[in-house]
Amino acid sequence: MQKLVTIFGGSGFVGRYIARRLAKQGWRVRVAMRRPNEAHFVRMYGAVGQVVPVFANIRDDASVAAALSGADAVVNCVGILSESGKNGFDAVQAEGATRIARLAAAEGIDRMVHVSAIGADAGSDSDYARSKAKGESGVTQHMPDAVILRPSLIFGPEDNFFNRFAGMARLAPVLPVVGPNTKFQPVFVDDVAAAAALGVEGRAQAGIYELGGPDVDTFRELMQTMLHVIRRRALLLTVPFFVARIMAWVLDMGQTITGGLLHNGTLTRDQVRNLANDNIVTGEYPGFDALGIAPTSMEAILPGYLWRFRPSGQYSDIKDSARNMKT
């Protein structure tokens, strides 16, 4: 009989890759989310009835318990980059993760994978980082044998980083950069999914894993790489942290004053605090090597989905080839 895994946030950027991998490996996959009617695309990851979206709100015990009923393993990859209404950092990334682990333990589930983030720190001045640490603590309290993944900046076709800045570069000649010297170690989304699949299958030892790709670059260098891939020029304008804090305060106040009607998805004060810290593996925990995974480079992936931001889109290579023939 096929085993069943419940993936909370299984239709999101990371979750869909985990769902696809586990479906290919023969698992029945239950994708738990707040709006299952918007996730019918996940059904195509497996045979008829193998991957099914279901309703679950991680702030609610009953719906989480229902989503976990009969499951053999659970994955939590729900996370937010900015707060909105009731979906605050603590509610989602701390209390929500803890609730999933507590109810999974009560259901008798013995395998859990929790997707956290590099920088999770209970002593951080960032609400995001503190909530990630609280979530990890809550998970290990109820599921001590859980596999916790801490990826750096995740990139892939659906990412909200390279796609976002490439879109800006297509429209404007200037790109604002906060924290240009902050270091990142971008990791390919399917490599994170491969690590999660090992945890679900019981082929990874319990504990924390820091996941970083083969490249370590500053924020400015990442922007330069992106511009090179999309074959555009833009001025990289350094925004001093004190200016960024003022901008973020104004945007945050706009969200507060309007009661969330205007959601600040541009730049928050908490994001500015995070941008002051490097986002790379510390070496204190095992990583991809311990899992037998060779991380994928940005060079191998970025051109495959950023081509649409080039001046001539999919025809850029053809035009370049024709130009070379003339010369």
Give the CATH number for residue 93.
Answer: 3.40.50.720
Q: Cβ contacts of residue 38 below 8 Å, gap of 6+?
A: 11
For the chain, what is the domain count? 1
Mean pLDDT of 124-130: 96
User: What is the percent of the chain with per-residue pLDDT over 70, rounded to a whole number?
Assistant: 96
Q: Is residue 318 part of a domain?
A: no
For 29-53, what is the mean pLDDT?
Answer: 96
Q: With b meaning 16 or more CB within 10 Å and e meaning fewer, what string describes 127-155?
A: bbbbbbbbbbebbbebbeebbbbbbbbbb
Is residue 59 included in any domain, yes or no?
yes
Task: Dump pLDDT digits (tens) for 222-253.
Answer: 999 999 999 999 999 999 999 999 999 999 99
What pLDDT band is residue 262 in, cutting at 50, 70 and 90?
confident
Q: Is residue 273 part of a domain?
A: no
143 in a domain, yes or no? Answer: yes
Q: Could you tell me the pTM of the whole model?
A: 0.94
> Does the residue 8 lie in any domain?
yes
- d(Cα 214, Cα 186) in Å, to the nearest integer? 8
Rounded to whole angstroms, the Cα distance separating 223 from 234 reads: 9
Q: Residue 38: which domain range?
A: 4-159+186-213+279-295
Widest pairwise Cα distance in the chain: 71
Is it the case that residue 323 has pLDDT exceeding 70?
no
For the residues 310-324, what does the mean pLDDT come to?
72
Q: What is the dihedral of CA 313, 315, 317, 318, to 10 degrees?
A: -170
Q: Band of the pLDDT at 261, cuts 50, 70, 90?
A: confident
At residue 85, the pLDDT reads 85
Residue 181 counted as domain residue: no
The answer to the question of residue 124 being in a domain is: yes
Residue 262 resides in a domain: no
CB 180 within 8 A of CB 220: yes
Find out whether 74 and 33 touch, Cβ atoms under 8 Å: no
